[in-house]
Structure formats: structure tokens, C-alpha cells
């Protein structure tokens, strides 16, 4: 049962790609809830299922089994065109490692694009674009094209574009993966402002333990399953560098477990 403050409820979610005997279990009965205004960091070794989860949440792939509810509405009800496109547009914002901006358009045109494509009235589009430009601190650069902006500024445009239709949840796949540390911190602080000022719920995939320290909660994946999760307040009082070491150690122990189980199944296969 999803309570009123829950934005996302994932229950028993599985995704199997391909057919036996070559099928791959990318997600294996995952349960995950996100409360309104919560930032959750997803971490785990390569191939553990993080991107697959984002793709299912974003309606880009159907689950093999299980349920996804966003704002108490069940995804499956909408998993056909054109409903799935509308649901995705209204409920989900996407941000990627590479900013995927349109170079021929200015920053403000890129930000306004989802509303223009949705046929929203010009006045509303202009007002919301202005609001987003201010929120991401790019009012002065509104007429610049992506090639005239730094990586961090381009990512801020991408975030503004993802949030302009006020989605229930923002999904970000390695949003700082292509940025230097100064620009990464700017983007992470922007996420915190989005949470604090808009109550935005945000789910971020990252490989970087320092980035993960910006989450209210860190969820660790291995082999398509959640194997560990903890709230930031569990390690409160320590500075960010110490917290990132704590996260890195948890991550390393999970990766070692993966390797141990891989070599076990390999030797079992040999015998």
C-alpha cells in the first residue's frame, strides 16, 4: 500500500532480457519506495541493474513482472501508446550523463521545448521557462547555444528542461559523469535546491561515492537485487569525504561478493 507522501512505489519488480537459455535477469524482484522530496542514490557494480531500473521507471521498457506506482497511479495501466508517452511526459523527467541538448536552439529554447511540443500556451511556457532559468541560475545565458556553455551549464539547461513540466520524479543516470569536480558539485547543489525549494523527488544513478553523499538515502544493487540501503543520517556528523569513504567501503564489499559468487558459479560449471 502506498501512503500519501510516497511518490514512487516499486513492488516485486523483475526484468528478464532475452529467452532461455540465453536470458539475462537484469532485475530480480526489487522493492523500492521514494517519498516526496527525497533524493535517493542508486549504486552498484557494472551490470547490477541500475540503468534497467531507470528504464522501467521511465516507461522505456515494460517489466517482466511486478508493479510500479507513481503518485499512486499504476504504470501498467498506461503501458501502451499514446498513454505511455503522456504518462512519461507528465510524471517523469530524465537527465543523462551526456546532456542531449539541441545545438541549434538557445538555452531558453531548449528549456521550453517540452512545453512547446506539448502545445502549451505561449504565456505559460514563457513564465515557466523564466522560472526555470532563474532556478538553475542561467538567466544571463538564456540566449547562448549549448556549444557556448560549459559542461556544468549545459547540464543545468538539461535539468531545467527535465523539470519544466513539473514531473513527479526526476530520474538521473550519471548526471555528473561527464563533469569536473567543481561543475559536479554545482549540479549536486542544484539538486539539493530542487528538493528544498520544489519538494522534487530525485533518483540518481552514480558510480561516485562522493556524489552519493548528496543523497538522503543510498541504495546498493548487486545482481539485479537491492542488497544494502541506508539513510544519510546514519553517518551524520562526519564530513563529506569521510562519508564517501564509508560508502566506497560498502560498495567494495558488494563488488567482492559479486566476484566471489561469479568465481563460485564458474568453478561449479567446471565440475
Ligand X SMILES: Nc1ncnc2c1ncn2[C@@H]1O[C@H](COP(=O)(O)OP(=O)(O)OP(=O)(O)O)[C@@H](O)[C@H]1O
524482484: which residue's cell? 29
Q: For residue 142, what is its C-alpha cell?
A: 538564456
Q: Which is nearer to ligand X, 26 or 162 (CB)?
A: 26
Q: Does 26 engage in binding with ligand X (CB under 6 A)?
A: yes
Strand 6-17 relative to strand 24-35, pairing: antiparallel
Question: What is the Cα–Cα distance from 216 to 231, expressed in whole angstroms?
Answer: 6
| Residue of 17, 189, 196, 249 interacting with ligand X (CB under 6 A) | 17
522493492: which residue's cell? 31
Where in 192-221 is the site for ligand X (CB under 6 A)? Answer: none
Residue 181 dihedral angles phi and psi, to the nearest 5°: -65, -35
Q: Which is nearer to ligand X, 6 or 184 (CB)?
A: 184
- As measured in angstroms, the least distance from the Cβ of 218 to ligand X is 15
Q: Which is nearer to ligand X, 111 or 211 (CB)?
A: 211
Please, which residues have CB within 8 angstroms of residue 137's CB and are 6 or more apart in sequence?
Answer: 156, 190
Nearest to 152 by CA among 165, 143, 163, 141: 141
Q: Which is nearer to ligand X, 17 or 80 (CB)?
A: 17
Question: What is the Cα–Cα distance from 167 to 57, expressed in whole angstroms?
Answer: 13
Q: Which is nearer to ligand X, 14 or 52 (CB)?
A: 52
Q: Does 176 engage in binding with ligand X (CB under 6 A)?
A: no
Q: Does 24 engage in binding with ligand X (CB under 6 A)?
A: yes
Handedness of CA 233, 234, 235, 237 (dihedral sign): positive
- As measured in angstroms, the least distance from the Cβ of 131 to ligand X is 33
| Residue of 18, 77, 118, 263 interacting with ligand X (CB under 6 A) | 18
| Residue of 7, 28, 41, 49 interacting with ligand X (CB under 6 A) | 49
Classify residue 216 by burial, with Cβ atoms within 10 Å: 0-12, 13-18, 19+: middle
Question: What is the Cα–Cα distance from 221 to 228, expressed in whole angstroms?
Answer: 7
| Residue of 2, 33, 37, 51 interacting with ligand X (CB under 6 A) | 51
Task: Pick the stretch among 39-47, 63-71, 235-243, 256-264 that binds ligand X (CB under 6 A).
Answer: 39-47
Q: Which residues would be at the binding site for ligand X (CB under 6 A)? A: 17-18, 24, 26, 44, 46-52
Amino acid at each position: 500500500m502506498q501512503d500519501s507522501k510516497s511518490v514512487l512505489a516499486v513492488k516485486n519488480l523483475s526484468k528478464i532480457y532475452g529467452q532461455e537459455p540465453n536470458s539475462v535477469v537484469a532485475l530480480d524482484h526489487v522493492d523500492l519506495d521514494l517519498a516526496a522530496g527525497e533524493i535517493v542514490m542508486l549504486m552498484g557494480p557494472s551490470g547490477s541493474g541500475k540503468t534497467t531500473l531507470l528504464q522501467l521507471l521511465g516507461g522505456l521498457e515494460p517489466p517482466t513482472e511486478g508493479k510500479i506506482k507513481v503518485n499512486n497511479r499504476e504504470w501498467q495501466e498506461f503501458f501502451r501508446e499514446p498513454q505511455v508517452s503522456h504518462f512519461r511526459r507528465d510524471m517523469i523527467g530524465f537527465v543523462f550523463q551526456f546532456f542531449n541538448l539541441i545545438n541549434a536552439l538557445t538555452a531558453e529554447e531548449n528549456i521550453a521545448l517540452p512545453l512547446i511540443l506539448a502545445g502549451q500556451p505561449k504565456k505559460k511556457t514563457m513564465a515557466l521557462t523564466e522560472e526555470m532559468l532563474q532556478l538553475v541560475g542561467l538567466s544571463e545565458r538564456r540566449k547562448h547555444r549549448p556549444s557556448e556553455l560549459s559542461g556544468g551549464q549545459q547540464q543545468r539547461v538539461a535539468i531545467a528542461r527535465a523539470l519544466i513540466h513539473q514531473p513527479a520524479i526526476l530520474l538521473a543516470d550519471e548526471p555528473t559523469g561527464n563533469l569536473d569536480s567543481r561543475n559536479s558539485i554545482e549540479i549536486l547543489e542544484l539538486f539539493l535546491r530542487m528538493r528544498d525549494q520544489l519538494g522534487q523527488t530525485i533518483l540518481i544513478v552514480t558510480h561516485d561515492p562522493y556524489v552519493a553523499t548528496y543523497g538522503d538515502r543510498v541504495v546498493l544493487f548487486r545482481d539485479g537485487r537491492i542488497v544494502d540501503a541506508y539513510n544519510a543520517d546514519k553517518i551524520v556528523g562526519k564530513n563529506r569525504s569521510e562519508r564517501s569513504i564509508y560508502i566506497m567501503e560498502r560498495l567494495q564489499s558488494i563488488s567482492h561478493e559479486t566476484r566471489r559468487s561469479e568465481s563460485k558459479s564458474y568453478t561449479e560449471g567446471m565440475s
